[in-house]
Amino acid sequence: MMHLRARTLALCLVAVTVSATYADAVRDDIVASVASDTSAHAMLVRLCDDFGGRLTGTAANAGALDRLADELRELGLDPVREAFEMPGWHRGEDSVELLAPVNRPLRAAALAYSTPHRAFEADVVDLGLGRAEDYVGKAVEGRVGLIDFGSPLSAAEFAKLAAERGVRALLYLNRVAGGQLLARTGSFQGRPLAVPVYTVTQEEGRWLQRLCGRGQTPRVRMVTRSRPEQVETANLIVRFPGRSAETIIVGAHFDSWDLGQGAIDNGLGIAQLYALAKALRNHDLPRSVELIWFNGEELGLWGSRHQAERVGDRPIVAMINLDMVGVPIAVNALGDASLVPALERWHDARTTPLSKGVQNENWFGSDHTPYQLAGVRAVTFNAPIDPDVVRYYHDTADTVDKVSVELVTASSAVIAEVLLALVHETELSAERRSEMDTRALFAAPALERRLRNSGLWRWR
């Protein structure tokens, strides 16, 4: 009898070893296919060149989403649209013209949720960082305020202060030099700004600051027909059912700003999800995987808010967020210590360690946040993009020529490794963070402040 038991145990150990070896081979095969397949990059080139920027609610966004769905169907997949409504914003004519001391157009673009106004002329006053103390001793009523980058206030906050003091509009300096603009939302809550806010180039903003500092009075003429409007849009989802209902969600925002092509932010994430979708086809997975292309991220995380509100009691192991992810130098557990051991096991098994290893630092501002607030653990990457490339995000030069084939394939391969590690991780179960622990996750003053400004803070 003992001999029989020993033989049975030996056979079981052999079976486990063979099964583990097979699973490792499958993972290696998937990662290798992602690392060598250039089709995701080719898809991104077509999407960017054929549709341009993908501002949520525009025909370009809807057409590009249709194209992506078609390309996924050509892979034999079944993408599902999750439609929703959100506070959108339409860009019309944005114009700022310097009238004095010289006459010339300034490069400017309204921030989202600025409201339309008739053309008017007004003098410019330098408001520093736009705080209450920056108004002391200054005549501001009826003027246009100039605000430097680096303000501790959100756009909605400094616009409200300006309106209360009779300022007609604001010019907000770009934080990157080189004649660039940084399109951005003015309100994570989707509310119209109290006064219109325009982003202007750093160089032209500095010019106006110097004039004000020398006692001169620059004068501008301004007009915008940009306007808030309710829009209908959709997220796109591809599901890979596994042997278990436990699920890993991988998300990347589909929308972009309209000034350029949205290739860096976040066409790169679109391509990475496509690469995963193609590689995961026809594979038997121990856990389910859900890939989501979110809309409305740039205007206020609206697509991920919509999805996170609907997770219910589904057994979700983690959400992986891909937002401008270059080739990773670290994987980040975003403040959830329970994820760290699993990520460290993956990292320790790598032949080539990431230079920064495993990190555990939470931050606000992308599609992982709504999932975290729903109690779902989240993962992202420390994956810097070349500064000479990333400087152009949100600007007219955010174009697909900035995104190389190698950037897409190399980054996607590491992402696939982490995804598959979580799919096969036996010591990590699906669980939800408690309400108390979720609040603690955002206890840092800067995080709490940003959540309050976004309307997402729900605690007293």
What is the CATH topology of the domain spanning 92-225? Glucose Oxidase; domain 1 (3.50.30)
Q: Cα–chain-centroid distance for residue 245?
A: 27
At 20, list the tokens.
């583990």
State yes or no: pLDDT of 15 exceeds 60.
no
Q: For the whole model, what pTM was predicted?
A: 0.94
- Whether the CB-CB separation of 379 and 334 falls below 8 Å is answered with yes
Quick one: average pLDDT of 376-402?
96
pLDDT tens per residue across span 73-83: 999 999 999 99
Give the closest residue to 355 by CA, choosing from 319, 325, 329, 326.
Answer: 329
CATH number corresponding to 26-89+230-454 = 3.40.630.10
Q: Specify the pairing of strand 378-382 against strand 330-332.
A: antiparallel
DSSP 221-275: EEEE--EEEEEEEEEEEEEE--SEEEEEEEEEE----SSS--IIIIIHHHHHHHH
Q: What is the pLDDT of residue 20?
A: 52
pLDDT tens per residue across span 301-321: 999 999 999 999 999 999 999
Residue 7 binned pLDDT confidence (cut-offs 50, 70, 90): low
pLDDT tens per residue across span 222-266: 999 999 999 999 999 999 999 999 999 999 999 999 999 999 999
pLDDT tens per residue across span 314-344: 999 999 999 999 999 999 999 999 999 999 9
Q: What is the pLDDT of residue 29?
A: 86
**Residue 112 burial class via C-beta count within 10 angstroms: exposed 0-12, middle 13-18, buried 19 and up:** buried
For the chain, domain boundaries: 26-89+230-454, 92-225
- Helix, strand, coil shares of the chain as percentages rounded to 5? 40, 25, 40
Interatomic CA distance for residues 258 and 131, integer angstroms: 30
Which three-class secondary structure state does DSSP give residue 4? Answer: helix
Q: Cα–chain-centroid distance for residue 433?
A: 23
Q: What is the pLDDT of residue 27?
A: 85
Give start and end residues of each alpha helix (H) in 55-177.
59-74, 155-164
Q: Specify the pairing of strand 244-253 against strand 287-294.
A: parallel
